[in-house]
Amino acid sequence: MQWNLEQLRLFVGVAEGRSFSAVARQMNRVQSAVSSAIAMLEADLGVTLFERSSGRQPVLTAAGSALLAEARDVLHQCQRLEGRALGLSRGEEACLRLAQDEAMPYQPVLDSLESLSQAFPLLEVQLASGAQGEVANKLLERRADLGLLFNHEKMPDALERQRLGTIEMVTVCAANHPLAQATHIGRRELARHRQLLMAPQEGQYPGGEQLSPSVWRADSFYAMAELVMRNLGWAWLPRHVASYPTYLSQLVELPCDWTPPPLVVELVRRRDEALGPAAQWLGKSFAEHLRAIG
């Protein structure tokens, strides 16, 4: 077989954009060159990848649909290979730019950074915090090397993710909220009161289900906690946020028959950039400290 990576990139591009002409424009090619490359790929593979009818957008055949995931995997692996080679040529990092979700448990982060300073005393660290979606954007725009964030829907495909642990979610209201004195609360009872929900930029955290017809939204768990504390509604919050000293005496954990699944904490990087030794060490350290807090 004589197919090449460029043909795979064109195949994936046409499959995702459903347009030979759009891919040609993006890659500064004439449309005939893109069509010819796809045809040569089909000849090499021995299958037809697209159904072609005059006036219609290209549609994947059954074989094309089956091979699309494989083609993506090959391209992703090439990105990993290039990133790994780049990392090996660079050696140890001179600077590590870490971006984290502002609601990340602070104790594991601080403990890990303290240990990092001892293991890599010459390393410069730049730490940035942001609301949901900002961490992923910093990585995509190459303004951060490593990210700590909570998994959510529509995570950009260009990011490589590693699961580190989970954070428990709890249902809370203010101490003077009508729900605060209840001994057991069902979904119908929650739906009678205003609900505070995340307003994510890029996707959806667990616990994004709307139960109440009346909702307020925020892009920060800490902003939500402030609103809950002022009796503006009930919310699902990470346990460590609800237990923050400022909120501890002001919030009440509700005895509900259902709570969202735990937040999944992930270590995230660009797929085309390999992690250096300090970044790898920090990821392992954070996972250990996260497990230590349960």
User: Could you tell me the CATH number of the domain that includes residue 180?
Assistant: 3.40.190.290
Domain count for the chain, please give it.
Answer: 3
Show which of 88, 123, 151 is a domain's final residue.
88
Which tokens is 111 given? 């403990």
Residue 147 sits in the same domain as residue 19: no
Domain check: are 50 and 66 in the same one?
Answer: yes
Residue 4's pLDDT is 87
CATH of residue 141's domain is: 3.40.190.10
CA atoms of 50 and 116, how far apart (whole Å): 51
Task: Please enumerate in sequence order all residues whose Cβ is within 8 A of that of 250, keeping only pairs 6 or more positions apart, or say none.
Answer: 174, 175, 229
Which of 45, 65, 88 is the endpoint of a domain? 88
Domain range holding 180?
Answer: 169-261
Residue 231 shares a structural domain with residue 246: yes
Alpha helices by DSSP H, the chain: 5-17, 20-26, 31-45, 62-90, 106-119, 134-140, 187-191, 221-229, 239-242, 245-248, 277-292
Contact at 8 Å (CB) between 290 and 165? yes
End-of-domain residue from the set 36, 53, 88: 88
Q: What is the pLDDT of residue 125?
A: 94
Same domain? For 152 and 271 the reply is: yes
Cβ atoms of 178 and 193 closer than 8 Å: yes
What predicted TM-score, i.e. pTM, was given to this entire model? 0.67
Give residue 223's identity as a one-letter amino acid code.
A
Same domain, yes or no, for 24 and 81? Answer: yes
173: nearest Cα among 199, 148, 143, 196: 196
193 and 256 co-located in one domain: yes
CB contact at 8 A, 214 and 195? yes
Is residue 267 classed as helix, strand or coil in its secondary structure?
A: strand
* Same structural domain, 48 and 32: yes
Which residues are CB-neighbours of 89 under 8 A, at least 6 positions away?
none
Do residues 248 and 187 both lie within one domain? yes
Task: Give the chain's largest Cα–Cα span.
Answer: 71
User: Per residue of the chain (294 residues), what is the pLDDT tens digit?
Assistant: 688 888 888 888 888 877 888 888 888 788 888 888 888 888 888 889 888 775 667 888 899 888 999 999 898 888 878 876 765 576 678 889 999 998 898 889 999 999 999 988 888 999 999 876 788 899 999 999 999 988 876 778 888 888 988 889 999 999 999 999 888 899 899 999 999 998 754 445 555 788 999 999 988 889 999 999 999 999 999 999 999 888 888 999 999 877 888 889 999 999 888 888 899 899 899 989 888 876
Q: Does 193 share its domain with 257?
A: yes
Residues 97 and 84 in one domain: no
Distances (CA, A) of 69 to 9, 75, 190, 245, 252: 12, 10, 42, 47, 47
- C-alpha closest to that of 148 among 238, 283, 10: 283
53 and 123 share one domain: no
State the pLDDT at residue 88.
59
How many Cβ atoms sit within 10 Å of the Cβ of residue 205?
22
What is the number of alpha carbons within 13 Å of residue 62 lying toward its C-beta?
A: 0
If asked whether residues 30 and 107 sit together in one domain, one would say: no
Other C-beta atoms within 10 Å of 174: how many? Answer: 20
